[in-house]
Copies of this chain bind each other. A is one copy, B any other.
């Protein structure tokens, strides 16, 4: 049983930028030569999240519209008063989606569906360089 952790970086545009990270995760599975196990993807920071979605431009737009509708920018946020920040809604979107995702690996293959991609969504209000971890455990 081995555990291997890769730290990755990517540049986002912020504002619900939704990035498909399936390919780097798949590459990490191959590099680590894990046949049976799982991968955990974890994004560092409190204004980004990780989940799965069918990664096509229409659905990405729908996801962005949904987070804006459910956690509107226009509401008053106590976080803006207490910290002088402008991203209270970004934090809430991130806490609801969550920073972490685990996907099983069987016979060396990530067990995703054909239309199920791993995405990192940057909810912050400005472009950022994001760090995330790809951690593999298995044999």
**Does B42 lie within 8 Å of A111, measured CB to CB?**
yes
A54-86 to B contact mask, C-beta < 8 Å, 1/0 = 101111011101100011000001111111000
Stretch at the interface among A9-17, A24-32, A100-108: A100-108
**Does A36 lie within 8 Å of B5, measured CB to CB?**
yes
- Closest chain-B Cβ to A97's Cβ sits at a distance in Å of 7
Complex partner residue of A45 from B82, B106, B113, CB under 8 angstroms: B113
Is chain A's binding surface mostly helix, strand, loop or mixed? mixed
A interface size (C-beta, 8 A):
60
Q: Give the copy number.
A: 3
Instruction: Across the interface, name the chain B residue whose C-beta is closest to A135.
Output: B104
**Does B102 lie within 8 Å of A102, measured CB to CB?**
yes
**Does B42 lie within 8 Å of A59, measured CB to CB?**
no
A89-116 to B contact mask, C-beta < 8 Å, 1/0 = 0011011111111111010000111011
Instruction: Point out the residues of chain B lying under 8 angstroms from A139, CB to CB.
Output: 3
A residues 1-57 touching B (CB-CB < 8 Å): 1, 3, 5, 7, 36-38, 40, 42, 44-46, 51-54, 56-57
The list of the 9 closest CB pairs from A to B, nearest first, reads: A58-B82, A58-B78, A45-B113, A58-B79, A61-B78, A46-B116, A59-B79, A46-B54, A44-B113
